[in-house]
Amino acid sequence: MNKRVESALNDQINKEAVSSQYYLAMASWAECNGLNGTAKFMYTHSDEERFHMLKLIKFVNERGGEAIIGSIEKAPTSFKDLESVFEKLLAHEIKVTESINNIVDVCLQEKDYTTHNFIQWYVSEQLEEEALARTILDKIKLIGGDKGGLYLFDRDLENASIDFSGGSSNEGQN
Ligand code: FEO
């Protein structure tokens, strides 16, 4: 496997691991703060990031490279409020999108069209994830400080079936 591509993919493996832990921390915080719908959403999202990581690990190893399972920083343990949680999620996903775009760039420079084809799944996934995060954040901003609204928002999130797999998504926000 091309070494520059391998290195970029290993970097991404680490980023997906960071994402998974980050959302796990958000899930745990939400659960401790009575936001069960948000907790469910974040636990599912965390699992999905682990899946993104595993998909990369398998691809690198199957193509004759070597996936590196590196260390990651401790995730934060507390968050200001719900809006701040989803703001951080969106900001994080925007950074992940930049990283995926960088891989596309490296693939083209190195003429690695197989990896370029593989990484397109992640390009679509990022589009979906950013859109979902923006939709949810818009709803939270509309609700503002209304506690009743936040309660209903969280309940809707608990009953929603969120599809993180790049397919159609039901944000469950009515
Ligand atoms: Fe693995 Fe949220 O991107």
d(CA 100, CA 125): 10
The whole-angstrom separation of Cα 170 and Cα 174 is 9
What is d(CA 160, CA 156) in angstroms, rounded to the nearest whole number? Answer: 6
CA of 95 to the centre of ligand 1 (A): 10
Query: Which atom of ligand 1 is the closest one to the Cα of 92?
Result: 2
pLDDT band (50, 70, 90) for residue 33: very high
Token representation of residue 132? 């979902």
Ligand 1 pocket by Cβ (under 6 Å): 16, 19, 49, 52, 93, 96, 129
CA angle (16 as vertex; 4, 111 as ends), nearest 5: 25
Residue 44 above 90 pLDDT?
A: yes
| pLDDT over 70 at 169, yes or no | no
Q: Ligand 1 mean position to 148 CA, how many Å?
A: 31
Please tell me the distance from the alpha carbon of residue 72 to that of residue 94, in angstroms, as a whole number. 19
Angle at 158 between CA 84 and CA 29, to 5 degrees: 40
- Residue 79's nearest CA partner among 121, 24, 132 is 24
The per-residue pLDDT of the chain, averaged, comes to 92
pLDDT at 174 over 90: no
Q: What is the pLDDT of residues 75-94, one digit of tens each?
A: 998 899 999 999 999 999 99
**pLDDT for the residue 173:** 37
Provide the 3-class DSSP secondary structure of residue 133. Answer: helix
How much distance in Å is there from the Cα of 111 to the middle of ligand 1? 25
Looking at residue 116, its pLDDT comes to: 98
Reported as a pLDDT band with limits 50, 70 and 90, residue 164 is low
* pLDDT for res 160: 79
Instruction: Please state, in angstroms and rounded to a whole number, the distance separating the CA atoms of residues 127 and 55.
Output: 18
Q: Are 81 and 63 in contact (CB under 8 A)?
A: no
Q: How far is the CA of 158 from the centre of ligand 1 (A)?
A: 21
Q: What pLDDT shows up at residue 158?
A: 87
Show the beta-strand stretches assigned E in the chain. none
Q: Ligand 1: which residue has its CA nearest to atom 2?
A: 93
Q: Delineate the domains of the chain, giving CATH numbers in brackets.
A: 3-70+78-166 (1.20.1260.10)
Q: Which atom of ligand 1 is nearest to the CA of 45?
A: 2
| Closest ligand 1 atom, residue 52 Cα | 1
52 Cα to the center of ligand 1, angstroms: 7
The residue whose CA is least distant from atom 1 of ligand 1 is 49
Q: How much is the pLDDT for 171?
A: 39
How does pLDDT run across 103-149, given as a tens digit for each residue?
999 999 999 999 999 999 999 999 999 999 999 999 999 999 899 99
